[in-house]
């Protein structure tokens, strides 16, 4: 039987999602607890990896098991074993065609920036800039919308295709001087959200012009974009399957 789970985690104390020998990762921590319930190691498949210190509100994974248990009991059993910074949000029995990674049709990431006064209690979950020109950033972010080759905005990985479609790219000003940058797309390349955000930050700081964002996109050259924004502001917010 195949089980789909939505999990949330505070990535602050982890070396990213994916298994790494000798490092504490989300996947290793999760599978270690799952093994206690299943009495053997079971490999899980996630919608994708997240980098060190990146958080998730809605990471999705699946695994196969013979264990018969109600959805709610899976959730309770795992949450009683998992540390306080990783929690199962929902559990669903799915058919064997479902794959957390390959069935995903859209992903949503959100990036948070604290403006104004520095707040140490927001530091694990936001990047910090005293002042950014938000209206310029709102203009610039529109260039990411649509289907483009995002080579400039990703870490080059061999010959993998770099064309992606972004359906939503918007900036919201929340309470407490917090900026929320939201991206929904059919997929995101390695570091892509953080490099896009890093470049938008440079627009907000006046180090780049609004239409540099477009020019960089067209140049297909990673060295033209800004540096990768810090991981702590980034949240894998939701993974979409089918018509949602």
Which residue, chain included where needed, has tokens 């080759």? 149
The region of 58-66, 91-99, 117-125, 211-219 touching its own copies under the rule CB under 8 A is 117-125
CB closer to its own copies out of 118 and 146: 118
Measured between alpha carbons, how far is 103 from 220 in angstroms, rounded to an integer? 28
Tokens of 39: 């009495």
User: Smallest Cα–Cα separation from 97: which of 243, 239, 237, 242?
Assistant: 242
Q: Which of 45, 98, 125, 167 binds its own copies (CB under 8 A)?
A: 125
- What dihedral angle (degrees, nearest 10) is formed by the CA atoms of 222, 226, 112, 27? 40
Q: Which of 5, 9, 194, 198 binds its own copies (CB under 8 A)?
A: 9
> Mask: binding to its own copies, 76-105, rule CB under 8 A, as x and -?
--------xxxx------------------
CB closer to its own copies out of 60 and 216: 60
Number of residues that bind its own copies (CB under 8 A): 14
Q: Which of 18, 20, 90, 123 binds its own copies (CB under 8 A)?
A: 123
Buried b or exposed e, range 118-130, using 16+ CB within 10 angstroms: eeeebeebbbbee
CB closer to its own copies out of 129 and 167: 129
- Closest contact distance (angstroms) between CB of 84 and its own copies is 5
Q: Is the dihedral of CA 71, 72, 73, 76 positive or negative?
A: positive
What are the φ/ψ torsions at residue 45 (nearest 5 degrees)?
-120, 120
The catalytic residue positions are: 51
Binding site for its own copies (CB under 8 A): 8-10, 55, 84-87, 118, 120-121, 123-125
């Amino acid at each position: 039987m195949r089980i789909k789970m939505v999990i949330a985690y505070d990535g602050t104390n982890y070396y990213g999602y994916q298994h790494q020998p000798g490092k504490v990762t989300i996947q290793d921590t999760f599978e270690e607890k799952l093994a206690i319930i299943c009495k053997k190691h079971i490999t899980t498949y996630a919608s994708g990896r997240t980098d060190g210190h990146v958080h998730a509100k809605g990471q999705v994974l699946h695994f196969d098991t013979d264990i018969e248990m109600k959805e709610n009991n899976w959730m309770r059993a795992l949450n009683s074993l998992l540390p306080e910074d990783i929690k199962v949000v929902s559990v669903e029995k799915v058919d064997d065609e479902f794959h957390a990674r390959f069935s995903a049709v859209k992903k949503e990431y959100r990036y948070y920036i604290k403006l104004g006064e520095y707040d140490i209690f927001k530091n694990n979950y936001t990047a910090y800039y005293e002042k950014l020109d938000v209206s310029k950033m709102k203009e610039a972010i529109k260039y990411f919308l649509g289907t483009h080759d995002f080579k400039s905005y990703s870490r080059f990985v061999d010959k993998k295709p770099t064309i992606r479609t972004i359906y939503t790219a918007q900036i919201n000003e929340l309470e407490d001087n917090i900026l929320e940058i939201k991206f929904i797309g059919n997929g995101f390349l390695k570091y892509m959200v953080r490099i896009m955000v890093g470049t938008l930050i440079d627009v907000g700081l006046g180090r780049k012009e609004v239409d540099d964002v477009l020019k960089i996109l067209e140049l297909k050259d990673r060295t033209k974009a800004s540096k990768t924004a810090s991981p702590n502001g980034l949240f894998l917010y939701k993974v979409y399957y089918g018509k949602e």
